[in-house]
Amino acid sequence: MRRMGLFALLMVGLALVIRFSGLWDSLLPAGPVSEVNFATLTPPGSPNSYLICPQGVCAAATPDTISPEIQLAPAQLIERILAIAEADGATLIDRIDPNAVEMVVRTPLMRWPDRISARAYPGPGGGSTVALYSRSIYGESDLGANKTRVERWLSRMSQ
């Protein structure tokens, strides 16, 4: 019985070392960066992604939400998204251009990588709108993490 307790303690210790040493992140890589073309984007059938898009931009997909217009220039909106993402633990993967960015956010507990693509567009009222696509790299379900993230970011963008 004592050996079993010692073994369990060692396994928990090993799990903690793997989780907090950064080794887990290297075991679950985010994969290669590729720019998302929102006009031709087709999200997977699995429930592990969430898409907001301006009206008429995502021609091949039905967005989960139509993005609102925010009274910022497109490049300023991307800067705001980057600040929100950084506060949420995102790491910048690639700055495509002044109006687009690719990021990775890892879930807090298990450190599963999620990729987020954002592109800002001029809005009809002088501000801008954004296409924002958050998706899990691994697994079939995200337990609503991508939807929660996008909605949280969207509410912060409007502040």
Tokens of 18: 């793997």
Same domain, 106 and 75: yes
The domain in which residue 20 lies consists of: 1-30
Angle between helices 145-157 and 74-87 (to 10 degrees): 130
**Domain count across the chain:** 2
- Cα gap 40→131, rounded to integer Å: 13
Same domain, 14 and 60: no
Q: Where do runs of H (alpha helix) occur along 1-159?
A: 2-20, 23-27, 74-87, 145-157
Same domain, 80 and 144: yes
Same domain, 46 and 62: yes
What sign does the dihedral 122-97-89-141 (CA atoms) show? positive
* Residue-level pLDDT, tens digit, the chain, 159 residues: 577 677 777 766 666 666 566 666 676 777 777 789 999 999 887 889 999 999 999 999 999 999 999 999 999 999 999 999 999 888 877 888 999 999 999 877 777 889 999 999 999 889 999 999 999 888 888 888 999 999 999 999 887
Q: Looking at the whole model, is its pTM more than 0.75?
A: yes
Same domain, 40 and 102: yes
